[in-house]
Structure 1
Amino acid sequence: MSVRSLSATLALSAVLLGVGVPTASARPSSYELPGDAGGSKFEGIGYDVRTQRFYVSETTGGEIHRAQLRSAAATEWLRGDGTDGRWTARGVTVDSQGRVYVAGGPNGIDHPGEPDLWVYDRSGRLLAALRTGVANAFLNDVVIGPDGAAYLTNSNAPQVFRVTERHGRWTVRTWVDAAATIPTQTGFNLGGIVVSPDRRALVVAQGNVGKLWRFDLRTGKVSAVDTGAADLVNADGLVRDGNQLWVVRNFSRVLSTLRLSYDGRTGTLVSATPTDPARVFTTAKLAQGRLLLVDSKFDEQVAVPPYEVVALTPPRG
């Protein structure tokens, strides 16, 4: 077998088994996360291209952990357990200025009056702690739009929120309420969110029914993404690179690869790759050609170590 064939075989095996492949730069194939004595669970991940750092949210307490791509262990970056009113955390992303956005999930539901989301600078200084003003808002995931604003999904209603900053003043508002187009179903509704290849729309996952939705950034119009007969139930995190769209399907334990049209109106299923059956991956970020997937521990009543982010070479098509 040639070296190239062996390399391809190892990469495919890594995706199937949920383990990483060593590379010439000796980057770790997995990253250890800190955890609490009573068990920790995790969900979101953000990546800072400039510093090659990534950030992971802990749902059990709201801590935010940080690691370098070449270091095998993360450290606690922001404390939880009520720090800045944060008792839990979900989606994380980083903008071009290195500012870290954290979606609070049910933080404002479980702790009335506390924030729904936070923004920090690279040093960990709090820039904003905001409430949406919407009852029962479960802020799930977040993406930076081409306009520099942050867009966050609501898992309890078909809404997308928009966060902006002007002269140091931060605001959040309901950008689109799609109740007339997207029926609210039992379970988690809107979750993963990415910008379309043409940067004129947002593509959003509705995991409980396995659908993708297109939100036009200019008009706010919402339409279903045509994905044919693709099974996308339990779609959680979305990752896009060019016209490649990876859908992390948590409890289905599948990584689905779609070829997305330039305008984000259609998606063609390329592959549905089983992931490690012992892990429930929630979301991911692409970092230097590898997907960094969060092992949530959501399948364990009381989570036990090791707590990890796993690096995979993603399938393409």
Structure 2
Amino acid sequence: MPRSLSRRRLLATGTALGAAAVLAPSGPRTPRAHAAGGWPTTLPLPDGFQPEGIAIGPGPYAYFGSLADGSVYRAELATGRGRLITGSLGTGRRSIGLKTDARGRLFVAGGPGTLRVIDTRSGAVLATYAAGDGQNFVNDVLLTRGAACFTDSFRPQLYVLPLGRHGELPGPDGVRTLPLTGEWVQGPDFTANGIEYTPDRTALLVVNSFAGALFRIDPRTGDARRVPHTGPPLVNGDGLLLLERDLYVVQQAQNAVDVLRLNRSGTRGRAVARITDPRFQVPTTAAACGDRVYLPNARFDVNPPLPTTTYTAVAVARV
């Protein structure tokens, strides 16, 4: 999600998550296998769309958010065809990190001081929440059984949107703040980016683009500890995707995805692969379906983006 490329610079009292059981997964199930040979590996996105985030499921459908106007596009993975499920949400609105749940809701990190929840069937905005003072940047999101957790790229804190026993959304003042402490290092620009679980689901992982490192976050206290790993530093670390014990770290400006194999507690990792592809055009985030990983090409090297700028998402094989 947004980092400190020149164009991105222009984008413009806490309660902890509680017990470790809260971190059990709550997202939708996606197909474990499919007729991959017949499915397209490059998906066209609307011209001028400026994609950033991706979420997949329920079913073989991908959702993409726009940095241009906050709109959301849905693509059918089996055919590559798609449509906008929302119109423009307005100038200055953004849809960045995305996650869907089994109830057909899309949780959206909205950039400056905003997060929202959208109905994937109708495209209706179910709720909008203020998070921060508008000078911050809500960047990515992870769903747990009892909450949606959002990173803030400009502030050393997470935002927690608690959900009811049956997934009910809270009222307009429901967002809580979890300050990051311990070894966390906050930079002057984009810092916290992608967020994921540890493999044992007892803690959170957040990539710190300023420190070029991965941090393990205690969900009860916000205590952050650096995760040592082999391989290149994560200075361009953006979206995170955990598949079993393999953590896919999208290194956007490097046009690469570094794969770290973590121990179960997520306290250390080792580099096992680097994925590159000639179709990469500054990929930002990743989501999986079956034996594939899908990434939107944000094309941040195109400055300024135009209404005629073309965009795609591409699929690569899982490690």
Instruction: Give the direction of change, closer, same or farther, for the CA distance of 1:242–1:281 in structure 2 (3 Å limit).
Output: same
What is the match of residue 285 of structure 1?
287
What is the match of residue 202 of structure 2?
200
What is the match of residue 175 of structure 2?
172
What is the match of residue 130 of structure 2?
131
Partner of 1:297, secondary structure, is: coil
Unaligned runs of 5+ in 2: 1-33
What is the CA deviation profile of residues 150-195 of structure 1, one whole-angstrom value per residue up to 9, with x for unaligned ones? 1100000121111123355342111x21155322213310011111
What is the CA deviation profile of residues 30-80 of structure 1, one whole-angstrom value per residue up to 9, with x for unaligned ones? 111113xxx3311001111x3221110110111110111112132111112
What is the match of residue 93 of structure 1?
99
Shift of 1:98: 2.2
What is the match of residue 71 of structure 2?
63
Partner of 2:253, secondary structure, is: helix
Whether the aligned pair in 1 keeps the contact of 2:131 and 2:138 (CA below 8 Å) is no
Partner of 2:38, secondary structure, is: coil
Superposition RMSD on alpha carbons, in Å? 2.1
Partner of 1:283, secondary structure, is: coil
Question: What is the rounded CA distance, in whole Å, between the counterparts of 1:155 and 1:294 in structure 2?
Answer: 20
Whether the aligned pair in 2 keeps the contact of 1:233 and 1:252 (CA below 8 Å) is no
Give 2:314's match in structure 1, choosing from 302, 310, 316.
310
What is the CA deviation profile of residues 131-160 of structure 1, one whole-angstrom value per residue up to 9, with x for unaligned ones? 014452201110112x33111000001211
Whether the aligned pair in 1 keeps the contact of 2:94 and 2:110 (CA below 8 Å) is yes
Question: What is the rounded CA distance, in whole Å, between the counterparts of 1:156 and 1:258 in structure 2?
Answer: 26
Shift of 1:313: 0.5
Shift of 1:209: 2.6
What is the match of residue 270 of structure 1?
272
What is the match of residue 142 of structure 2?
143
Whether the aligned pair in 2 keeps the contact of 1:30 and 1:309 (CA below 8 Å) is yes
Question: What is the rounded CA distance, in whole Å, between the counterparts of 2:261 and 2:230 in structure 1?
Answer: 12
Shift of 1:218: 3.6
Partner of 2:56, secondary structure, is: strand
Instruction: Give the direction of change, closer, same or farther, for the CA distance of 1:184–1:205 in structure 2 (3 Å limit).
Output: same
Shifted more, 249-258 versus 129-138: the winner is: 129-138
Shift of 1:89: 1.6
1:30 equivalent in alignment to 2:42: yes
Question: What is the rounded CA distance, in whole Å, between the counterparts of 2:202 and 2:194 in structure 1?
Answer: 17
Shift of 1:307: 1.2
Partner of 2:163, secondary structure, is: strand
Q: Which amino acid aligns with 2:129?
A: L
Partner of 1:251, secondary structure, is: helix
TM-score by length of 1: 0.81
What is the CA deviation profile of residues 268-315 of structure 1, one whole-angstrom value per residue up to 9, with x for unaligned ones? 11122334376100011011121110100111013354311101103x
Question: What is the rounded CA distance, in whole Å, between the counterparts of 2:133 and 2:297 in structure 1?
Answer: 30
What is the match of residue 54 of structure 2?
45
Question: What is the rounded CA distance, in whole Å, between the counterparts of 1:220 and 1:179 in structure 2?
Answer: 6
What is the match of residue 11 of structure 1?
none
TM-score by length of 2: 0.81
Question: What is the rounded CA distance, in whole Å, between the counterparts of 2:250 and 2:239 in structure 1?
Answer: 5
Shift of 1:81: 4.1
Instruction: Give the direction of change, closer, same or farther, for the CA distance of 1:125–1:40 in structure 2 (3 Å limit).
Output: closer
Percent sequence identity over aligned pairs? 32
Give 1:244's match in structure 2, choosing from 246, 249, 269.
246
Shifted more, 266-275 versus 184-193: the winner is: 266-275
Larger radius of gyration: 1
Whether the aligned pair in 2 keeps the contact of 1:63 and 1:78 (CA below 8 Å) is yes
Question: What is the rounded CA distance, in whole Å, between the counterparts of 1:135 and 1:90 in structure 2?
Answer: 15
Whether the aligned pair in 1 keeps the contact of 2:146 and 2:163 (CA below 8 Å) is no
Question: What is the rounded CA distance, in whole Å, between the counterparts of 2:141 and 2:115 in structure 1?
Answer: 10
Whether the aligned pair in 2 keeps the contact of 1:34 and 1:74 (CA below 8 Å) is no
What is the match of residue 150 of structure 2?
152
Partner of 2:235, secondary structure, is: coil
What is the match of residue 4 of structure 2?
none
Q: Which amino acid aligns with 1:30?
A: T
